[in-house]
Structure 1
Amino acid sequence: MSDPIKTKELVKNGLLTNNIVLAQLLALCPLLAVTNGATNGLGLGLATTFVMVAANFLTSLSRHYISRAIRIPMNILIIATLVTMTDLILHAYLAALHQVLGLFIPLIVTNCAILGRVEAFATKQTPMKSVVDGASMGIGFTWVLVVLGGIREILGTGKVFDNAALLLGPHFAFLETTVVNNFDGLLIAILPPGGFFVLGGMLCIKQKLASMISQRQTNVSEGASYES
């Protein structure tokens, strides 16, 4: 029997509280490798989100028919099949993006965040809740990729979503923006060390905000106890 988990709680966990990157510190290898631009981050994030949603749904749908003894291998097989489909679709329709992301599309199979959610959540919950959980986790991962890539791209080139039309298709041309004209940029921002610096800054901000929220809740609780 599944636990009574509310949709709002699932969304909050995926986007912020239990964010794959900011809270769990998972999938850092592809995160740091491809986020020298927001466009790359958006492409990898959407691909990962599709795999997470589909894997959660299929695992939840089949959870009563798969023996516990072979559950993990079957989950890996489901994920690998979905990643192969994603890789072939990107190769066929978004060849430029596929070339940029390269090996990191097949490596989605090894993303422990996906297998972790499938095993810890989808095997115990209904298909609908599993879809919401997968979408929330995927979107949470995607927004971190895009923000991290966007910050690095702005610092490095003065632009954001550069070559979006080329990598994602002509319909995404509206995303291409020049933030600072005639900007030489900081080369280190789009090199691997820049990823560590920007991610570290994002983690610091996240921790500071969490601390402020926790302190405010404590003050409100103490005030209510004092009044009563």
Structure 2
Amino acid sequence: MSVLKEFTKGLWKELPPFRLVLGLCPTLAVTNSASNGLGMGAAVIFVLVLSNMIISMVRHIIPAKVRIACFIVIAASLVVAVELLMQAYAYPLYERLGIFVPLIVVNCIILGRAEAFAAKNGVAASVADGLGMGLGFTMSLTFLGSIREILGNGTWFGMAVMPEGFEPLRIMVQAPGAFICLGLILAGMNMLNFRQARRKGEQAEALAQQQGCGSCGGCTACGAGARDAQAQ
């Protein structure tokens, strides 16, 4: 159950770009199309899962003073492998992503999960954490890239999806469009979080009323009041 929990948290509860606000540089830079977002996300999944697994396996033999340097070396080795694979099998995508492929090594998601989780947990949980975070990151980039591509080009993964009379909003596939879409998505996530919190508060208040509690300071205060009454 704990492995499943570590996997699912990255899909919504700790969604990297929209919940934790991590990895925003590639999120803003390469998401002018859905295919670019999917390709970058797949590369991050490869590096994140394998780096988490390797770091978890060797965490007991890495000296604490040089652990960050070791994490970077492991991630850099995996990024080189990703670059070679993309050059061999997906060169057009590699050209479109450009410098942001080698910059995966300093992505705060990679180093953050290595330091915060993989260096402190077992292999299975670390792999689940990396896979969940990677999939959440990929879905976020693909979603953002889809919105920008549809509104900016009228296509989705290169296929026309809008009617002939549609006038593309070119700003959406430019740098300002990335900030606009990201801001709107973050605003929507914040509104959803606020509604969920308010709904939980209303449910807790309704439950308290059903149990006959008054509008006091909570169960602790009620318990203290009861003890004072008994003492008198």
Instruction: Give the secondary structure class of the aligned counterpart of 2:120.
Output: coil
Question: How many angstroms does 1:64 deviate by?
Answer: 1.2
Unaligned runs of 5+ in 1: 163-176
Aligned counterpart for 1:35 among listed residues 27, 31, 39: 31
Query: Alignment partner for residue 116 of structure 2, among 89, 100, 120?
Result: 120
Separation in 2, partners of 1:35, 1:147: 9
Higher deviation after alignment, 105-114 or 63-72? 63-72
1:13 and 2:6 are equivalent in the alignment:
no
Partner residue in 2 for 1:194: 177
List structure 1 segments (4+ residues) > 3 angstroms apart after TM superposition. Answer: none
Alignment TM-score, normalising by the size of structure 2: 0.87
Aligned match of 2:54: 58
| AA at the equivalent of 2:167 | D
Q: Hey, what does 1:208 align to over in structure 2?
A: 191
SS in 2 for 1:31: helix
Could you tell me how far apart the structure 2 residues matched to 1:12 and 1:226 are? 34
Q: Distance in 1 between matches of 2:199 and 2:7?
A: 22
Determine the C-alpha separation between the residues in 2 that align with 1:178 and 1:45: 23
The aligned residue for residue 228 of structure 2 is none
Q: Which one is further off, 41-50 or 61-70?
A: 61-70
Gaps of 5+ in 2: 212-232
Map of 1:172 onto structure 2: none
Q: Deviations over 1:81-121 (max 9, x none)?
A: 00000011100111111111111100001101110100110
Number of the residue aligned with 1:169: none
- Do residues 224 (structure 1) and 207 (structure 2) align? yes
| Max Rg structure | 2
Partner of 1:97 in structure 2?
93
**Contact between 2:80 and 2:102, CA under 8 Å: does it hold in 1?**
yes
Q: Which position in structure 2 is the counterpart of 1:179?
A: 161
Aligned-pair identity in percent equals 42
Are 1:86 and 2:68 matched, yes or no?
no
Q: Does 1:158 align with 2:140?
A: no
Q: Report the number of matched residues.
A: 210
Amino acid at match of 1:9: K
Partner of 2:144: 148
The alpha-carbon deviation at position 54 of structure 1 amounts to 0.4
SS in 1 for 2:38: helix
TM value normalised by structure 1: 0.89
Q: Distance in 1 between matches of 2:89 and 2:147?
A: 28
In the TM superposition, residue 65 of structure 1 has moved relative to its aligned partner by: 1.4
